[in-house]
Copies of this chain bind each other. A is one copy, B any other.
Amino acid sequence: MSRVTIKEIARRCGVSQGAVSYALNNRPGVSAATRARVLRVAAELEWVPNTAARQLSAARSETFGLVLARTPQTLSEEPYFMGFVGGVESVLAEHSYALALQVVADLGAELATYRKWAAERRVDGVIVVDLRVGDPRIPVLRKLGLPAVLVGDPALAEGLPCVWTDSTAAMNAALEHVASLGHKAIARIAGPPEFGDVWIRDQAFDIAVRRLALTAVTRHTDYSAAAGAAATREVLAGHPTAIVYDNDLMAVAGLAVVQALDLRVPDDVTLVAWDDSTLCRITHPTLTALSHNVVGYGAEVSRRLFDVLAGAQPQPHLYSTPQLIPRESSARPAPSVPPSPTPVV
C-alpha cells in the first residue's frame, strides 16, 4: 500500500509541493537540477499520481469512453468488436490512459451514458461507433461539448472528427470481382438499414449493379448469424450465382445454409464476405472477403481522439479501403447453370 504523495516528495527534497508538481509534469518553473532531484526521489519512493486528485484539479480523467449499444449476444458473436477494442487499447496504453467500456441496450441508454459521463467528468473523450443516418448522438455530443471521434463516413459525421474506411470503393471492388468472374445475378445480405455504413453500401451497391448491368436483390438483417442464415435461404429462391454479405459472421452462416441445401460453393454459388476476421479462413471452403485491419482501425481512432484533445482541427481521416482477398468461395459460375436455370430448392 504505497501512500506516497507529492507532499512527501516535497519534504524529502526540501522544496514546495508546487515545485514538485511542476517538475513531475515536465513544465517550466524549476531548474534542471531540482527537476532531476525530484524525479529521482519520486522514482525511489515509487510515487504514482493519484488519478482522482489529478482529475479533480486538472479536470482530466485520463480515460476514454466507448459505449456499445448492442446486446451481449451480438457482441460475442461479432469478432469485430473485440479486435477494435484491442486496437484502441494498444494506443491508450502508450499514454497510460484507461478505457471505460459500457455495454447498453439501445441508443437512448447510450445518450444517457454520455450525459452522465460528461456531468461526472468521467471521460476526456469518447469513441462513437455504429454511426447512423442522421445520428441523434451527434447533436448531443455537440451540446455536451464532449470531445469525440466518430467511426464512420464523413457524410454521416456532420462535421465532427471522424475516421472512416471507403465502403463505396470496397463495394465496387467486390462487385467488379464477381462481375469479372461472369456472375450476373447477385444477392446482397446487408446489415440494418439504419446503420450509416450499411446505407452507404446500399447506395454503392445499387450504382455498381447498374453500371455493371447486373440483376440484384438486397435483404437487410440485424447482422446476426441467425438473420444471415434466414436471409440466405430466402434469396436463394431467386437463384443468384453470387451472394455478397455485409459481415463475415453472416457469410459463414450463409455458407452452412448453402451446403445444407446440397449446393456447392463456389461451383453453384459464389460467396463474398465483409470484415475479414479469422472466421473467413477457417471454413471449408475459405471465404473471399473484403479485408479490413480492425485492430489498426481501432488504434487509429484513438490516436485521432488524442489529436482532438490536443486541439487538432476536426478533419475527416480516411483510414483505409478494405481490400478484396479472393479465396476459395468465389469462382466462375458453373457452366451448367446459365443454359438451364433449374430450380434448386
**Inter-chain contact B48/A56, CB cutoff 8 Å:** no
**Inter-chain contact B103/A85, CB cutoff 8 Å:** yes
- Interface positions of A from 96 to 151, Cβ below 8 Å from B: 96, 98-104, 116, 118-122, 144-145
Give bound CA distance, A46 to B116, whole Å: 10
Give bound CA distance, A259 to B259, whole Å: 12
Interchain nearest-CB distance for A25 vs B (Å) = 16
Q: Check A86/B82 contact, CB under 8 A, given A1-B145, A51-B122.
A: no
**Inter-chain contact A77/B77, CB cutoff 8 Å:** no
Q: Check A76/B86 contact, CB under 8 A, given A1-B144, A51-B120, A282-B252.
A: yes
* Number of identical protomers: 2
Task: List the B side residues contacting A93 at CB < 8 Å.
Answer: 102-104
Determine chain A's interface SS by DSSP, over half rule: helix
Chain A window 78-97, contacts with chain B (Cβ cutoff 8 Å), 1 for yes, 0 for no: 11111111110110010010
**Inter-chain contact A294/B76, CB cutoff 8 Å:** yes
Partner of A120, one of B50, B281, B295: B50
Partner of A75, one of B2, B52, B73, B83: B83
Instruction: Closest B residue to A79 by CB, please name it.
Output: B76
Partner of A76, one of B2, B100, B104, B295: B295
Q: Check A76/B278 contact, CB under 8 A, given A101-B85, A101-B89.
A: yes
Partner of A282, one of B120, B253, B282: B253
Give bound CA distance, A122 to B71, whole Å: 27
Chain A window 276-318, contacts with chain B (Cβ cutoff 8 Å), 1 for yes, 0 for no: 0111011110100000001100100000000000000000000
Query: By CB atoms of chain B within 10 A, which of A100, A119, A257 has the most?
Result: A119
A207 at the interface (CB under 8 A from B): no
Give bound CA distance, A131 to B46, whole Å: 28
Instruction: Closest B residue to A61 by CB, please name it.
Output: B52
- Interface positions of A from 222 to 249, Cβ below 8 Å from B: 224-226, 229, 249
A190 at the interface (CB under 8 A from B): no
Interchain nearest-CB distance for A265 vs B (Å) = 11
**Inter-chain contact B72/A76, CB cutoff 8 Å:** no
Instruction: Closest B residue to A70 by CB, please name it.
Output: B86
Task: List the B side residues contacting A71 at CB < 8 Å.
Answer: 86
A49 at the interface (CB under 8 A from B): yes
Q: Check A51/B278 contact, CB under 8 A, given A81-B82, A90-B103.
A: no
Q: Check A72/B48 contact, CB under 8 A, given A144-B1, A229-B282.
A: no
A321 at the interface (CB under 8 A from B): no
Give bound CA distance, A79 to B48, whole Å: 35
Partner of A121, one of B51, B252, B257: B51
Instruction: Closest B residue to A104 by CB, please name it.
Output: B93
Instruction: Closest B residue to A299 by CB, please name it.
Output: B72
Chain A window 157-175, contacts with chain B (Cβ cutoff 8 Å), 1 for yes, 0 for no: 0000000000000000000
Instruction: Closest B residue to A76 by CB, please name it.
Output: B83
Instruction: Closest B residue to A80 by CB, please name it.
Output: B76
10 smallest A-B Cβ distances: which pairs? A72-B86, A76-B83, A256-B284, A48-B119, A52-B55, A253-B282, A89-B103, A52-B56, A75-B82, A259-B284
